[in-house]
Every structure is written in C-alpha cells, then in structure tokens.
Amino acid sequence: MIKGITLENPSSARRYMFMITWPIFIEVFLQMLMKMTDVFMLSFVSDQAVAAIGVVNQLMTFMFVMFNFTAMGAGVVVSQYVGAGDKDGVRKTIASAISINLLFGLAVSLFVGFNRHFLLNLFALEAELFAYANSYAMIVGFALFAQALILTVSSILQAMGYTKDVMISVLIMNVLNVFGNYVFIFGALGFPRIGVTGVALSTAVVRIIIMIGMLMLLFKRMPVKIPLKSFFNLKKKYAAKILGIGIPSAGEQLSYNVSQIVLTIMITTLGATALATRVYSNTFLSVLVIFSMSIAKGMQIFIGQLVGARKQDEAYHYMFTGLKFAVIVTIIIGSLFAIFGRQIFGFFSDDPGIIALGSSILFIELLLQPARTGNLVIISALRAAGDAKFPVMIGVTVMWAVMVPLAYLFGIVLGLGLPGIWCAMLIDEWIRSLLMFFRWKQKRWMNKRLVSPSL
C-alpha cells in the first residue's frame, strides 16, 4: 500500500504533515548525532585527526551530492505519483532510480578509492594530517556505493510515506557506528586499537549492512512487486523525469559543496587552528539545521503529493506554515548556541585559540541561520513542484560571483581570517534566500507538474 494523501481540511493536512515530518526530524537528528559522535570520539585521538577527517568528509559530502541527483529526483517523482495514485509509475520510477545510482555509485567508489592521493593533495595538508586522511579516504572511498543506494532507498521510502522505516534504519546505523568507533579507538573487547583506520572500517562496514537491510525493506513495502529484469531495462520516460529534477537539484548542492571545498582550501592557509575550528563549528552547527532540514524534507514529500494531486493552491499556503515554524525554532536554538559558545567548544577542545575563534563564529551564525533555513525549505518546495532549474541558476551565480570572491577578500586580503569567510557566507545565504522567497510568491512553479493523476 502506498501511503498517499487524502486531505479534506486544513487540520487533517497539518496532521498529515506532522506525521510524515516527525520521523524525518528524528532521522536527521540521528544523522547529525552520528557526525558529532565521530568528531567527539576522534578527539580522543587528536585535534589533528579531527581536522584531517573533516577534510575527507568535505570530499565525501561532495560525492554524496552527486549521488543525491538520483535520490532527490526519485523522491520528487515518486511523491507526485503517490499524489496522483499511480502505482505503476511508482514501480517504474523506483526500478530506474536504483539502477542508475547503483552503477553511478560503483563508478564513483572506484574513482575516489584509486585517486585519493590526487584529491587530498588539493588541500596541501601537513604530513601528519595527510596520513590520517589517506587511511580514512581509502577505506571509506571504496564503500561509497553503499551510501549511494542508502540515499536513494531512503528518499523513495520517505516519498511513499514510510518515514518511520528510514528513521529506524538510521537509528540502527548510529548504534552500530558508535560500537565500531568505540572498539577500534579504545581497543575494547579484544579489538585492535587502530584509531582513524578503525573509524573508517566501522563506517564502511556499517553502510554496507544498512544498504542491504534497506533494500530488503523497500521490496517489502513496494505496492507492486518489481521483477529483477526491471533493474536492467531502464525506461527512458521515467529516467528522464528523475534526471530532469535530480540533475538541476544536485547542481545547486554541487555548486554549494564545491564552493565549500574552495573555502576549506582558503582556510587551510590560515593554519591548523582555523581548520580545526571550521570542522568543530560545522559539526555543532549541524544541530541548528536539524529542524530546517526536517521541515524541508517533509515539505518536499507533502508538496510533491499535493502537486501530483493538482492541489497547487494548498501547496502554496502550506509552504509558508512550514517555513515560519522552521525559522522560529532555528533562531531560538541559534541564540542558545551563541550565548554558550565558549562552553560548547570547551567541551570538545582545550585549545584557547579554537574556543575563542569558534565562539565568535557562532554569533555570526545566529544572523546567517534564518536565511539558510529559508533556502532549505523554499528550495525543497520548488523542487517538489517541479521547478528545479531556478534554484541552481541562482545558486551557481551568487555563490561564485558573490560568496567566493568576498570570502577571499574578507578572509585573506583584509586579514579577517575565519570570521571574514563566515561573513561572506552570511551575505550569500541572505541574497539567495530572498530570491527563492520571491520565486515562490510569483507562483511560476504551478505549471511545472511532472505527472498526471490516474483515472
């Protein structure tokens, strides 16, 4: 059975949106908790290990964005087919999405695994940091295909309404990840004490286990069984719909992550303290976007189903409801982080330079987060409606014409360092957020629906 949308009044709509969003909130929280746990447990090895793995994870995030072009596209198309009540469309979209990302994931895994030295040399890491990064990138890189399928299956399950299944899967992933980190970092239960290499092994093995489990779960939840031969017989119609949303959507995120890599390269020239502060800051700030990301993912499912059912007017108004809630919560949490910044950084590091620098970054983030929340929520809504090209056009233009040049000017030329680079990101987020807001108000997305309701 597909968990479709049958809404008769605003209260039932809000209740449905809550039911699909709260498991996403727990899932996003667990994803962020897993990253924070990795950083916290690696801090027992050294600050250098934290900095090195932070650089590798910047590369891995870049790869995840490329995997997401299929996952995001499939999620939007499936959600619209759910709204339209077309089970055959759901089945064929799923078969196409899994086939595309499996092949792409294997290709990326081999590329990263065999070319890790070239990729890491882009960051001009010190010898100790390079050794840590190389060990981690080799093991995790060859297992990237598992993350490609996890992202795809998660997006599909959520689009069908099975957000609890994804939440439980991520919970299991967290438990296994913490256990693996613990035994390898501290040499517990007779396991060898191999630090960063152990964390990499834990990450790779856990992802493969979860990939297998989620594929089994997907086949169980499918409204119509998918013959094995379907995975080797791509339908052009459905692949085109997936890629038509996925490629532009991934383009916006790809541009963002490439720009972040460029910023990281700038930050490495500022020294190990700035780089470690960047890694710690990004880890803490991931908590700030939990609500925003949850609302954004829930909004994508909800609006996709509404648009598939030809309920564009309802979709228009419910986006503002989700946006307002996400911004309010983000401001509250951001204020707490800014006030207690020194205590938060002091829990993870005893370096006074990192603590002082990091606490100043959290005040800048308090001003930045409302705009970042707007980008997350509104772009997800536009994508769900089929309007995927506008965000990437604006994203690429503003990030590279405004953020990157200003980051170099403020951070390097004027000598403002890490706070200067963060101010450039603040300006970027606000410009893009305002442009996305006006795009939604103009309602040009209303005629970009991908599917037709079934008869």
**372 occurs within a structural domain:** yes
Residue for token digits 């746990």?
37
* Helix, strand, or coil (residue 235): coil
259 close to 403: Cβ distance less than 8 angstroms = yes
Residue 234 is predicted with a pLDDT of: 64
3 state DSSP class of 375: helix
- Name the amino acid, one letter, at 113: G
Q: How many domains, in total, are found in the chain?
A: 1
What's this model's pTM, rounded to 2 decimal places? 0.72
Q: Which residues contact 175 (CB under 8 A, 6 or more apart)?
A: none
Residue-wise burial string across 442-455, b where 16 or more C-beta atoms lie within 10 A, e elsewhere: eeebeebbbbeeee
pLDDT of res. 340 = 87
Over the Cα atoms of the chain, what is R_g? 21
Amino acid code (one letter) for 441: K
Distance in angstroms (rounded) separating the CA atoms of residues 364 and 241 = 39
Between the alpha carbon of residue 259 and those of residues 266, 374, 389, 414, 427, the distances in Å are 11, 19, 19, 20, 14
Q: Give me the count of residues in the chain.
A: 455
Helix/strand/coil for 234: coil
Residue 321 lies in a domain: yes
Q: Among candidates 63, 50, 59, which has minimal Cα distance to 120?
A: 59
Say if CB 146 and CB 211 are below 8 A apart: yes
Q: Say if 51 falls within a structural domain.
A: yes
Provide the 8-state DSSP code for 401. I
Domain membership flag for residue 52 = yes
Could you tell me if residue 374 is inside a domain? yes
Q: What is the pLDDT of residue 298?
A: 83
**Two tokens, residue 300:** 């994508």
DSSP-derived 3-state class of residue 418: helix
Domain that holds residue 229: 20-446
Give the span between the Cα atoms of 71 and 90, in whole angstroms: 14
Cβ-proximal residues to 224 (8 Å cutoff; 6+ apart), any chain = 87, 88, 90, 91
Give the closest residue to 377 by CA, choosing from 436, 443, 447, 310: 436
- Decide if 454 is inside a domain: no
CA distances from 159 to 55, 114, 123, 446 (A): 32, 35, 38, 20
Per-residue confidence (pLDDT) for residue 34, from 0 to 100:
75
Residue 356 domain-assigned (yes or no): yes
pLDDT means over runs of 10, the chain (455 residues): 48 68 78 73 73 76 75 80 74 80 85 84 75 83 88 85 86 88 81 80 89 88 66 69 77 79 86 82 76 81 82 86 86 88 81 86 91 92 86 91 94 91 94 94 82 54
Q: Is residue 12 part of a domain?
A: no
pLDDT value, residue 277: 84
Residue 221: partners with Cβ closer than 8 Å, 6 or more residues away: 157, 160, 162, 165
